[in-house]
Amino acid sequence: MKAVILDNSSLGTGVDLSPIENQVDELDCYSLTSPGHVDQRIQDADIVITNKVVLNEDSLKQAKRLKLVCVLATGMNNIDLKAAEKLGIPVKNVEAYGTPSVVQHTLMMMLSLATKMPVMQQRMAAGEWQTSPLFTLLDPPTYQLEGKHLVIVGSGELGQAVKKQAEALGMRVTFSARPGKADGSRPSFDELLPQADVISFHCPLTDDTKGLLNRNNIKHCQPHTLVINNARGGVANEEDVLDALRNENIGGYATDVLPQEPPKDGHPLLDALNEPLNLIVTPHNAWTSPEARQRIIELTAENIQTLK
The CA distance from 92 to 73, in Å, is 9
284 is catalytic: yes
Q: DSSP secondary-structure letter at 41?
A: H
The catalytically annotated residue of 26, 128, 167, 261 is 261
Q: Which amino acid is at 217?
A: N
The CA distance from 205 to 175, in Å, is 17
Burial letters for 210-225: b for 16+ Cβ neighbours within 10 Å, e otherwise?
bbbbeeebbeebeeeb
232 is catalytic: yes
The catalytically annotated residue of 41, 232, 293, 295 is 232
How far are the Cα atoms of 10, 171, 298 from residue 23, in angstroms, in the given order?
A: 21, 45, 11
The catalytically annotated residue of 123, 186, 220, 284 is 284
Q: Quick one: CA torsion of 52, 53, 57, 59, rounded to 10 degrees?
A: -160
261 is catalytic: yes
Active site positions, annotated: 232, 261, 284
